[in-house]
Structure 1
Amino acid sequence: MTKADTVKARHVAIIMDGNGRWAKKRHMPRALGHQRGVEAVRKVVRGARDFGLEALTIYAFSTENWRRPEDEISDLMTLMKRFIVSDLDEFAEAGIRLKIIGDYKAFNPDVVALIEDALARTADNTGTTLAVALNYGSHDEIARAASAAAAKGAITPETIAAELDTADMPPLDLLIRTSGEERLSNFLLWQAAYAELYFTDVLWPDFTADHLKEAMDAFATRERRYGGR
Structure 2
Amino acid sequence: MVAADDGARTRALLQVQRARRWVAPRLRSMRAPLRVVLERGYERRLVTSVDPARAPRHVAVILDGNRRWAREAGFEPRSGHQAGADKVLELTEWCEQVGVEVVTLWMLSTDNLTRPAAELGPLLAIIEDTVDRLARDGRWRVHPVGALDLLPASTRGALEDAAKQTASHTGLHINVAVGYGGRREIADAVRSLLAEHAARGTSLEELVEVLDVEHIAEHLYTAGQPDPDLVIRTSGEQRLSGFLLWQSAHSEFYFCEAYWPDFRRVDFLRALRSYAERERRYGG
* TM-score relative to the length of structure 2: 0.74
Looking at structure 2, the residues matched to 5 and 52 of structure 1 have their Cα atoms a distance apart, in angstroms, of 8
- What's 1:104 paired with? 148
1:19 maps to which residue?
66
Show structure 1 runs of 5+ residues with no match.
none
Which of the numbers 135, 159, 164 marks the counterpart of 2:215? 159
Identity of aligned residues (%): 38
Say which of 86, 105, 119 aligns to 1:39: 86
Is 1:115 aligned with 2:182?
A: no
| Aligned amino acid, residue 111 of structure 2 | E
Q: Which has the higher helix share?
A: 2
Deviation at 1:4, TM superposition (A): 7.9
State which of 169, 181, 189 in structure 1 corresponds to 2:225: 169
2: CA distance between counterparts of 1:194 and 1:180? Answer: 21
Q: Secondary structure at the match of 1:192?
A: coil
Write the distance in 1 (CA, Å) between the matches of 2:51 and 2:111.
43
Find out whether 1:62 has 2:109 as its counterpart: yes
User: Hey, what does 2:33 align to over in structure 1?
Assistant: none
**1:183 aligned onto 2:227:** no
Decide which of 241, 246, 255 is 1:199's aligned counterpart: 255
Q: Greater CA deviation, 75-84 or 170-179?
A: 75-84
Indicate whether 1:144 and 2:144 are aligned: no
Q: What is the Cα deviation at residue 226 of structure 1?
A: 1.5
Higher-RCO chain (CA-CA 8 Å, sequence separation at least 6): 1
Q: Which has the larger radius of gyration?
A: 2
Using the TM superposition, name which of 212-221 and 78-87 deviates more: 78-87
Matched position secondary structure for 1:12: strand
Deviates more, 1:173-182 or 1:153-162: 153-162
Report the TM-score, using the length of structure 1 for normalisation: 0.91
CA deviations on 1:41-89 (whole Å, 9 max, x unpaired) are 1100111112211100011111111221111100111112222344432
Distance 1:5 1:104, change over 3 A: closer
Name the aligned partner's letter for residue 157 of structure 1: V
For 2:173, the equivalent position in structure 1 comes to 129
Secondary structure (helix, strand or coil) at the match of 1:175 reads: strand
Residue-by-residue CA offset, 1:89-116 (whole Å, 9 max, x unaligned): 21x2xx2100011122432222222222
